[in-house]
């Protein structure tokens, strides 16, 4: 059944991608129809920008710039789709296993050291309504780990660190949805309100598939309201968020007030054939797992970030460092992580291709270092359909746990909605074959 679902979904995604492939001179915009003055269409490059793995932060700028450059028209409704299918093999160094992918959560703590799976990892749809020159509504819904059991619960631990967690599958959710106000052709200021990625950090990746460790620990999504400014290479965004546990990697102690905030700033330019950008950010209340104190007088913890990117010739290079502002009570240390990535773009058999390498490391969790090395290759063998292979090695393992029941460390037990479990003394190897399509 899983293979049939996978084949059907891939066929639909590929067909949609081929239908959305541009004709010569069409600027990649496909107009499906016009009803009562409203244009309905697709724009594949925009879909890749909004849904790919490369960077999850500040994607409202893609909406604003595509509108500014005429790729997204006024009084128009644009649809897009993104599908990702994988064959995956993971090998842990010892039992009990410590796989860092939630698809193997049912194996956590078991005697097995090896895991393999074929799955439709992600299916997402987007809708962008360009209501008028100044107003845009963006909605994104989707599901992940499709075809498995509806709910899987597992537990994993070492002598000092244990956790229980549940992965919910086959449940379509609104991943993002917000109102965006702005027209960069008229003013360099814009505003937004709704559920979206929080403008903090960059958390980019040169890989189409793997997430760097600093993204796992610090990239945030939640309900937010904010204002941004962009002009002459300067981008600044101020955001306010609800207090309490408000989404992913967001937490402040008072859940009855708008008392969390973030600021993100960057400057970029083009010089001597190179496009470069540097940025910095601050988030006032990061994940509940990293609070400064627990119990009576619980105090939230902040985080700061420095990042930079450069594209020159066919190379893409990025680097980023993120850390909490204070020690995390559960881990008795400042939590910090960084990522370095290099990608090279080239044609292969007449198609766009890319090889990439990234290294990321995290410290301050379980008083140990956690490292990840990823090497990959991908090729756009059909318009808007990419195939690739990657290999990842993790020395000590961070397990990203959605819907955490509890996490126990030498400093106590905490009940969390989401968290990251550090497992030491274990390493694993992951081989991934991937097909990703968009329209």
Q: Over pLDDT 90: what percentage of the chain? A: 53
More confident residue, 151 or 161: 161
b (16+ CB within 10 A) / e for 358-377: bebbbbbbbebebebebebe
Give the global pTM: 0.86
> CA-CA distance, 215 to 28, in Å (whole number)?
31
Which has the minimum average pLDDT: 94-98, 137-141, 163-167?
94-98
% of the chain residues with pLDDT over 70: 77
Structure tokens at 286: 């990061």
Backbone angles phi, psi at 54, to 5 degrees: -70, -45
Domain ranges of the chain: 2-438
The span from the CA of 35 to the CA of 376, in Å, is 44
Q: Which of 9-23, 169-183, 412-426 has the lowest mean pLDDT?
A: 9-23
CA–CA distance, 48 with 142 (Å, rounded to integer) = 15
Confidence of residue 368 (pLDDT cuts 50, 70, 90): confident
The CATH code of domain 2-438 reads 2.40.160.10
pLDDT surpassing 60 at residue 417: yes
For Cα atoms 361, 363, 367, give the angle at the middle one, nearest 5 degrees. Answer: 140
Among 157-161, 289-293, 339-343, 358-362, which stretch is predicted with the lowest mean pLDDT? 157-161
Strands (DSSP E) found in 44-107: 76-92
Query: Do the beta carbons of residue 153 and residue 165 sit within 8 Å?
Result: yes
Residue count of the chain: 439
pLDDT tens for 161-172 read: 666 666 666 677
Cβ-based burial of 43 (10 A; exposed 0-12, middle 13-18, buried ≥19): buried
User: From its phi and psi, is residue 187 left (phi > 0), alpha (psi between -120 and 50) or beta?
Assistant: beta
Max avg pLDDT among 14-18, 172-176, 409-413: 172-176
Cβ neighbors of 24 (< 8 A, separation 6 or more) are none
In the sheet with 162-168, reading across from the earlier edge strand, the strands are: 151-157, 162-168, 404-409, 412-414
Whether 358 contacts 206, CB under 8 Å: yes
- Judge whether residue 24 has pLDDT over 70: no
d(CA 246, CA 254): 11
The neighbouring-strand residues paired with 391 are: 375, 431
CB within 8 Å of 263: residues ≥ 6 apart: 200, 236, 237, 238, 239, 281, 282
3 state SS of 51:
helix
pLDDT digits (tens, 9 = 90+) for 299-341: 889 999 999 999 999 999 999 999 999 998 888 889 999 999 9
Contact between residue 324 and residue 300 where contact means Cβ atoms under 8 Å apart: no
The whole-angstrom separation of Cα 300 and Cα 122 is: 32
């Amino acid at each position: 059944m899983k293979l049939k679902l996978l084949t059907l979904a891939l066929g639909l995604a590929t067909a949609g991608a081929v239908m959305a492939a541009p004709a010569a001179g069409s600027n990649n915009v496909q107009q499906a129809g016009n009803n009562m003055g409203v244009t309905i269409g697709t724009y594949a490059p925009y879909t890749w920008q909004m849904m790919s793995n490369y960077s999850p932060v500040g994607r409202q700028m893609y909406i604003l710039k595509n509108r500014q450059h005429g790729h997204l028209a006024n009084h128009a409704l644009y649809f897009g789709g993104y599908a990702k299918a994988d064959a995956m093999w993971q090998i842990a160094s010892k039992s009990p296993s410590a796989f860092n992918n939630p698809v193997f959560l049912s194996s956590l703590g078991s005697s097995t050291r090896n895991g393999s799976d074929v799955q439709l990892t992600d299916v997402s749809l987007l809708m962008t309504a360009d209501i008028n020159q100044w107003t845009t509504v963006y909605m994104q819904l989707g599901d992940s780990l499709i075809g498995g059991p509806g709910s899987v619960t597992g537990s994993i631990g070492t002598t000092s660190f244990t956790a229980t967690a549940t992965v919910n599958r086959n449940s379509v959710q609104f991943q993002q949805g917000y109102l965006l106000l702005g027209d960069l052709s008229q003013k360099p200021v814009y505003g937004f309100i709704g559920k979206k990625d929080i403008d903090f950090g960059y958390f980019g990746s040169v890989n189409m598939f793997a997430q760097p460790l600093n993204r796992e620990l610090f990239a945030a999504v939640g309900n937010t309201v904010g204002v941004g400014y962009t002009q002459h290479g300067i981008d600044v965004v101020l955001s306010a968020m609800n207090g309490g546990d408000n989404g992913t990697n967001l937490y402040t102690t008072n859940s009855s007030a708008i008392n969390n905030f973030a600021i993100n700033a960057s400057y970029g330019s083009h010089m001597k054939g190179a496009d470069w950008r540097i940025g910095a950010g601050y988030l006032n209340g990061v994940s509940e797992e990293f609070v400064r104190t627990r119990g009576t007088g619980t105090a939230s913890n902040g985080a700061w970030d420095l990042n930079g990117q450069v594209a020159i010739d066919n190379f893409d290079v990025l680097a980023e460092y993120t850390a909490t502002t204070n020690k995390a009570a559960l881990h008795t240390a400042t939590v910090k992580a960084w990522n370095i990535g290099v990608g090279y773009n080239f044609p292969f058999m007449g198609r766009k291709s890319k090889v990439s390498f990234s290294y990321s490391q995290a410290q301050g969790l379980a008083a140990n270092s956690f490292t990840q090395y990823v090497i990959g290759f991908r090729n756009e063998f059909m318009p808007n359909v990419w195939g690739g292979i990657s290999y990842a090695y993790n020395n000590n393992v961070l397990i990203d746990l959605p819907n955490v029941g509890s996490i126990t460390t030498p400093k106590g037990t905490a009940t969390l909605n989401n968290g990251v479990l550090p497992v030491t003394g274990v390493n694993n190897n992951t081989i991934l074959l991937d097909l990703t399509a968009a329209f």
